[in-house]
Amino acid sequence: MKKILLFFCLSCICLAAYSQNDKLEIGLQVSNPVRDTQVGWFDIDSESIDGFDVRDRSIAVGLLATYSYKDATLRLRLGWTRINIYEGLEDPVVTNDFAHDRWATGKQNKWHIVPGISWEIIQKSNLSVYTGMELPFTLHRRFYLHDKSLFWDIDNNLQEGSSDYTYVLHPGFTIGLSALAGFRFQLFPRISLSTEFAPGLFVSRRGGKKQFINHLSGETFDESSDKLNNITFYEQRFSFGISYRLKNKK
């Protein structure tokens, strides 16, 4: 992926160096991170479920290059999503004289390569509306779920047991087709702000193998997990961005 990012940056530099008009724009986008991995009880959600508190610190950012060609705008978007979610019991579960506390963190990196095309359909003063389509490809890196539990005797305030393990889901990918709609506001002659909405349908190839690491015993072994092959599912992206149109080279 580093080679792809390097190629993208070098391509932008070359286009900027040889561009003879104002057709090329480079921008930065911030999007909603899509959470699409579930491991057992760790059911990723933005709300508390079954007495668990969820804290989502995930982020999604990207680079967007656009090039105006005739009546259309050619697009290439490269993105990075960092999944970072904490989920734990709001209060320890008490049974008789014993208490149980449990918490977990899920982390994953995802890389996105998204070519696309758009057309401007409304232009009024500094505000324009555009629509189009994208072909998103996402590379899912390993998903790490670190799960810890503590058990203790309430009366004697003594720890009676604990567990500490990590599940590692193997990488995979998704590919699909998204519709695209957005608004663009020309803030300055060469700087614009935009917001986009892109709902899409995707097929996936993920899972099939899961590694289990017991940090207390030092044991590590592999086990099978459900494959998500050719499963069609729905995702939607919301993005806010800022772009700079390169100067006309004379």
| Structural contact between residues 36 and 236, judged by C-beta atoms closer than 8 angstroms | no
pLDDT digits (tens, 9 = 90+) for 132-170: 999 999 999 998 988 888 887 877 777 777 888 888 888
Interacting residues of 215 by C-beta distance below 8 A, sequence separation 6+: 164, 165, 166
Cα gap 143→158, rounded to integer Å: 34
Find the distance separating the first CA and the last CA of the chain, reported in whole Å. 35
Please state which of the ranges 18-27, 69-78, 136-145, 146-155 shows the lowest mean pLDDT: 18-27
Cβ atoms of 43 and 76 within 8 Å: the answer is no
Q: How far apart are CA 30 and CA 191, in angstroms?
A: 16
pTM of structure = 0.81
On whether the 2-245 domain is CATH 2.40.160.20, my answer is: yes
Measured CA to CA, the distance from residue 167 to residue 107 in angstroms comes to 11
Domain positions in the chain are 2-245
Q: Which helix (H) or strand (E) holds 18?
A: helix 2-18
Q: Please provide the average confidence, as pLDDT, over all residues in the chain.
A: 82
Length of the chain: 250
Helix (H, G, I), strand (E, B) or coil at 216: coil
pLDDT digits 0-9 by tens, 205-249: 876 667 778 887 878 877 665 555 666 678 899 999 999 998 765
pLDDT at 134 (0 to 100) = 97
In SS3 terms, 21-87 reads as CCCEEEEEEEECCCCCCEECCEECCCCCCCCEEEEECCEEEEEEEEEEECCEEEEEEEEEEEEEEEE
Cβ atoms within 10 Å of 174's Cβ, excluding its own: 23
- Name which of 36, 86, 91 is nearest 231 in CA terms: 36
Confidence of residue 185 (pLDDT cuts 50, 70, 90): very high
